[in-house]
A and B are shown apart, each in its own frame.
Chain A
Amino acid sequence: MKQQIYKWILWVIPLFMGVMASAQTPYSKTYHQSYPAAKVSKLLLESKFGNATLKDNGSNTVTVDVRVEVKEQNEKAAKQILDRIQINIELSGGTLMVETSIESGGMSNGSFSIEYDINLPKNKDVMAECKYGNLYIDALTGAGMFEIAYGNISGRNLLTKGNLMLELAYGNATFDNLQDALMEVKYSNLAVKEKARNLVIESKNSTVKIGEMQELTIESKYDDVKIGSLDQMVIEMGYTNVEIGKLSTTFVAETRYGNINLQQVAANFNKIVIEGEYGDIRLGMPDNANYKVDMECDYGSIVVPEYTGLKIEKDQHTTHVFGAVGTGKTTGALVTSSKYVNVTVTAP
């Protein structure tokens, strides 16, 4: 009996393995083009259902390699799918176009993938539109314009000179360093792990996490914004929570239904101005700084440490806290105006 079972296993396993192998066998086609780098000034990439990688390997040749792969057991069906997918690569007047064209109809569940590998000097301009896939850019100093939906964009150093734009929806954007960018982020996660400089962001229903931020202007709705250290920031926010680890200079906010937490404000800060309705505000103010205070709150509360010696006036609905903190010449200002907000000032 045992021998029969072993025989059966010996027959069945190779058969099963064979079926598995044929199921995994991809049908594919590849594209390759190369051009002298001097002839290419801009890359225009339109990617769908694929992963694109842009790297600068230091050579003076721009290369485009695309591999389309179909995981389909039936050869005829696989070839039909392959025929429906076309990659058009064309250099015209300095613009290198890499476009994906997919004919509609009849493709089965997740049965194909497209990989784009592009070698391009980092000082070239890039315009990329990617949907249902990912884009990785190692480095960029030329202009960049990216439209990413239902996919991710990531990169190491995107250090353009004031000409980077990103439109991101339903995806993740992760960079090491980023500067001079104008961004629209919706239903997504944006992260800059190290340093960011001069960003203008409009975000909705997203998370924004930045390690070290120099200058940020942001219009934010339904977001979570977390910044490790910040120099200057102006924010218009609704239903958003903001947490700043260290603030050096300036923070200006208009908030509704959101919370603000400035954990540690530097002694030489310049200005904190907040107008708010509904929510909580926590300010970790320095105890060795000299600054003016003017805080007013309707239907809420203001709590300040005793050492500040600030004057507190209260009537039925309103609390007014004002005066100067420190004995030296005042260099900073803390101004808040709020309604249904609890403002808590703490020592660091």
Chain B
Amino acid sequence: MHNKPDYIEELIRDNREFFTPSTLPEGHTKRFEQRLKKQRQPVLKPIIPWLTTAAAAIVLIAVLLPQVRPQKGSEKQGVLTQVSDQYGEVEYYFTSSIHKSIGQLETLLAEGYGTSTDSLMIQEELRELEERHLQLQEDLKLAPDDERIVNAMIEVYRRKMDLINAILMELQEVKQRKNQTNETTNL
């Protein structure tokens, strides 16, 4: 399949700086080629499931939560409050909803659903979203109150909430699926 588009590899190689280091990992195309060639290979095997789960929970609680939990006494002191009270309310809604979902996510990870890979993925996503927010705050200094920037900030919040909820739903489904499997096995 990938004998033909050698130029894509060349493009990646020649223009690597165009992308951030995390976007197209080294050997990206080759890994895909190899997958085409191989017929079957075992999927990821968690060696010590309880250990990876515990690590996942610890990583998530320790690293992620401070980023999204609204601070006591400053819950309405977000950046958008400076634009208007209404935007401040919107911001508060998102930060508190995200906080709530993160709490549920913590519980699921602590119960053993999800792996350390999952929590690292989430961590990476939220870190990136945080960077976006900081950049937007800088842009807001350039044009205070500009609706385009305010809307972008709200969009980042919305996406952050959607992301956490999507992961939450998947892990809830994993929980359901594992419970069903256990029930079937017990029967």
- Contacts from A to B (Cβ < 8 Å): 49, 102, 104-110, 131-133, 145, 150, 162-163, 165, 167, 169-170, 180, 182, 184, 187, 198, 200, 202, 204-205, 215, 217, 219, 221-222, 232, 234, 236, 238-239, 250, 252, 254, 256-257, 271, 273, 275-278, 294, 296, 299, 316-317, 333, 335, 337-340
Contacts and interface: CB of A to CB of B under 8 A. Distances in A.
A335 B23 contact: no
Given A49-B143, A110-B146, A252-B32, A215 B11 contact: no
Interface residues of B, number: 55
B142 A317 contact: no
Given A107-B143, A184-B23, A340-B178, A215 B36 contact: no
B43 A204 contact: no
Given A104-B141, A299-B181, A337-B40, A182 B146 contact: no
Interface of B: 1-2, 4-5, 7-8, 11-12, 15, 18-19, 23-24, 28-29, 31-32, 35-36, 38-44, 121, 125, 132, 139, 141-149, 151-152, 155-156, 159, 162-163, 166-167, 170, 173-174, 177-178, 181, 185
Nearest to A107: B143
A221 B122 CA distance: 11
Contact of A170 (B8, B24, B152, B170): B152
Nearest to A162: B7
Contacts of A150: 148-149, 151-152, 155
Nearest to A254: B35
A239 B23 CA distance: 17
Nearest to B144: A107
Given A198-B8, A254-B35, A277-B43, A102 B142 contact: yes
Q: Which 5 A-B pairs have the closest CB atoms?
A: A162-B7, A109-B145, A110-B147, A132-B148, A150-B152
Nearest to A102: B142
